[in-house]
Each structure stands twice: as structure tokens, then as C-alpha cells.
Amino acid sequence: MTPFTFSTTQSLICEPGASDRLAEIAASLGMQRPCVVTDGGILGSGLLTPVLEHLRSAGLSVTLFSDVVADPPEAVVLDALAQARDGQCDGVIGFGGGSAMDTAKLVALLLNNGQRLQDVYGVGNAQGKRLPLIQVPTTAGTGSEVTPIAIVTTGETTKQGVVAPQLLPDIAVLDARLTLGLPPAVTAATGIDAMVHAIEAYTSKHRKNPYSDMLAREALHLLARHIEAAVQTGEDETARSQMLLGAMLAGQAFANAPVAAVHALAYPLGGIYHIPHGLSNSLVLPHVLRFNLESARHEYTELAGIILPQNEGHADDAAERMIDYLEELAVRLALPTRLRELDIPESALGRLAADAMLQQRLLVNNPRTVTEDDALAIYKAAW
């Protein structure tokens, strides 16, 4: 067996209604002046209102930063950091989707270690310790609550990642009730995102290991069986709980066996056209998988047995049928399936391919080498 290491969030609380105890959980980490990081949509929905009331009634002095936006730019991270510094915060709570949780990670790190944001971009450049950190996901997709990664938009169309063990939180609180009623389109896109995490972790060229494989398989088992119910019946707490757990398991898997070409080709769609990350992944997913078939057929066949438990026919075409199933799933979930549906002109595909090649941090993990011509061919297939 190839030697491997595995790291994840120190403590997990998976319980409907657990966010009602967030004051107690924060206090267990010594927080007295937490900074709560979220976005305007979450704040406007009222999801956070009882949480803030509980925190304040327990005597905690709360600094609220609610200006996170999708694909947060550097300015948003710096504003959150300044507000937390003004509040003399001694801990951070990320509450929301991946963007809120990523911002919370960086606030907890930079508020405590004194580094500048630009100093920590890349892998392993963070120094020192962070403040106590709790993550509370409100979507079942990114798995950010169990990953040592934060993504920042650094220019008009570019993103950079911070990858450091300090970004793993102390506690992740999985409360499925926070995801009840999430709009179908968001549920579908974030659910597909989580499935991509599991699939890419299972076929990652680097750091794939028995532990991440186990997590990826169980994540796909849960996600494939519950995504349609979660989309179609937003108040189905059982489906929501299983989706949230599946997304977390997939996050643990790809945090240790990194994602690859699906994400690399999805990033330019978000950076240039501001397409939500989960939808970007969904748009290129079947086309990347078909490109990878010659190098990952064995792994895809194994995953087909999980995604398609009633698999009929010969095992030698199971991988193809799994890819067809995933392509049809996006249609059943009413997601756009073509780049042109998002008003992306065919003339832009060359630029997308060139930008995708900048994501070498991800492309090196792909089971098959991707050239710029390959990336262009995949975008054309998705167009």
C-alpha cells in the first residue's frame, strides 16, 4: 500500500437543530467575541436571526459581517478582516455556503497570525495559528467545513487558492434544518458539486488513498440516492440530512485526494461569466469524464456500481452508462446543460481553454493529461 496521510476537521456535530446550541459550542472553544461571517441572502432569509439571538442572550459580543458575495474578491475578505479586528474578535463562525465559509477561514487565520492575504496564496504558505473556528454550512455541496482550502477572486476573472492545514476548522456543525426550503436550482447545483468532489477524489492522480476512497464511495451512495428527493421536496428533512452528510464526506475525500480537470475547467466559467460554482462543474462534468475514460475506466466502473445499483448489462460499458446517467440527471434536475444556454458565445471557448490551463494545481491531479487543445475540445462538447 502506498503511504498516505489524512487530515480533517477536529470535531463534527451532525444533528438537526444543532445550530440552536451554537452559543454553547462557541463557548466551548473559549469564544466571547465571535465574528459571524455570512452573506446578505442568508441574513435576509432569517436563518441566522435565532442563532444571533442565542449567541447574544448567552452573553457573547457578536460582530456580524454579512457582505460576503459569491466567489468573494480580495476586497470582501479584507473588509471582513477589518471588521473582525475592530470588534476585537477572539473567534470566527462561518455561516452559509462555501464563499462564507472560505472567507471565515481566512479571517480566522489572518486576524491571528499577522500575515497579509497575498502572502498566503498557494500551498503551505500560511504561518502560525488561527483563531478558534466553527463552520456551519447551509448548503449541501462545497464541503468547505472539512477542507483546508479557501478560494479568493483576485482580479476581474482570476482566482487563487489558499491551501493550509490551519484552515481546517475546530468544529463543523451539520444542521440539516438550515437547508430546508433551499431553492431547487441551488440544491441541484450544489448537490452535483458534491458528487463531482467524490468522483474526482476517487480518480485523483495524487494522494488517492483507501480512506479517501471509502469516503468518496459512501458520499456518492448518499448523494445519488437523495439528490432528486431533496430537489423535488425541499422540506424533506431525511433527504436534506443525507445530502448534507454526503457533501461533508465528499469534502473530506477531496481535501485529502484533490480534485482535478472538472474543477479546473469550471473555474474560468465562474471567473469570467460568474456562473455559480456547482453549475459550472455540472456543465463540464460529463465531457471531462468522457475525456478521462481511457485512463479511469476501472474507477468509473467501480463507481457505476454505486451510482447505478440496478445496473443491467455488461460491466465493460458500465462506465459509459454512469456518465450518461450523470448527464441525464442534470436534465431531470432542470439544470442548464449547455454553455450556450448561459449566453457564452462559441468565440469565447478559446479564452476559456487558455484560462483553464492556469489551473495546474488541479490539472496535475487528473487521471489523463489535459492540454489546451483538449480543454478546448471539452468546452466545444459542452457548448
Whether residues 104 and 225 share a domain: the answer is no
Whether residues 234 and 300 share a domain: the answer is yes
| Model pLDDT for residues 137-151, shown as the tens digit of each residue | 999 999 999 999 999
The pLDDT, as a whole number, for residue 310 is 72
- pLDDT exceeds 60 at position 47: yes
The pLDDT, as a whole number, for residue 314 is 62
Whether residues 166 and 184 share a domain: the answer is no
The pLDDT, as a whole number, for residue 231 is 97
The pLDDT, as a whole number, for residue 312 is 55
The pLDDT, as a whole number, for residue 332 is 97
Q: Which of 125, 144, 178 is the last residue of a domain?
A: 178
Number of domains in the chain: 2
Q: Which of 178, 203, 225 is the last residue of a domain?
A: 178
Please state the separation of Cα 383 from the chain's center in Å. Answer: 24
Distance CA 381, CA 197 (A): 22
Whether residues 211 and 326 share a domain: the answer is yes
- pLDDT exceeds 60 at position 313: no
Whether residues 239 and 350 share a domain: the answer is yes
Whether residues 278 and 305 share a domain: the answer is yes
- The CB-side HSE value for 139 (13 A sphere, CA atoms) comes to 30
The pLDDT, as a whole number, for residue 157 is 78
pLDDT category at 318 given cuts 50, 70, 90 is: very high
Average pLDDT over residues 188-209: 97
Q: Which of 163, 178, 193 is the last residue of a domain?
A: 178
Ranges of H-type helices in the chain:
22-28, 40-45, 49-57, 74-86, 98-113, 184-202, 210-232, 237-256, 261-273, 277-307, 318-332, 349-356, 360-363, 372-382
The pLDDT, as a whole number, for residue 247 is 98
The fraction of the chain above a pLDDT of 70, given in percent, is 98
| Model pLDDT for residues 149-162, shown as the tens digit of each residue | 999 998 887 888 99
| Model pLDDT for residues 170-191, shown as the tens digit of each residue | 999 999 999 998 999 999 999 9
Average pLDDT over residues 289-309: 94
Tell me if 6 is assigned to some domain: no
Distance CA 213, CA 19 (A): 30
- pLDDT exceeds 70 at position 326: yes
Please count the other Cβ atoms lying within 10 Å of the Cβ belonging to residue 228. 16
Helix (H, G, I), strand (E, B) or coil at 66: strand
Q: Which three cell numbers stand for residue 51?
A: 442563532
Question: Which residue, among 359, 363, 365, 362, has the nearest Cα to 207 in the 3D structure?
Answer: 365
Tell me if 124 is assigned to some domain: yes
Whether residues 309 and 365 share a domain: the answer is yes
Packed helices 277-307 and 318-332: angle between N→C axes, nearest 10 degrees: 140
Question: Which residue, among 228, 222, 226, has the nearest Cα to 329 in the 3D structure?
Answer: 228
Residue 211 is which amino acid?
Answer: Y
- Neighbour-count burial of 314, counting CB atoms closer than 10 A to its CB (0-12 exposed, 13-18 middle, 19+ buried): exposed
Stretch among 192-201, 229-238, 308-317 having the lowest mean pLDDT: 308-317
Whether residues 221 and 278 share a domain: the answer is yes
| Model pLDDT for residues 237-260, shown as the tens digit of each residue | 999 999 999 999 999 999 999 999
Tell me if 71 is assigned to some domain: yes
Tell me if 272 is assigned to some domain: yes
The pLDDT, as a whole number, for residue 311 is 59
Tell me if 352 is assigned to some domain: yes
Q: Are 246 and 194 a contacting pair, CB within 8 Å? A: yes
What range does the domain containing 359 cover?
Answer: 180-382
Tell me if 2 is assigned to some domain: no
CATH number for the domain harbouring residue 88: 3.40.50.1970
| Model pLDDT for residues 91-131, shown as the tens digit of each residue | 999 999 999 999 999 999 999 998 999 999 999 999 999 99
Q: Are 109 and 129 a contacting pair, CB within 8 Å? A: no
Whether residues 37 and 115 share a domain: the answer is yes
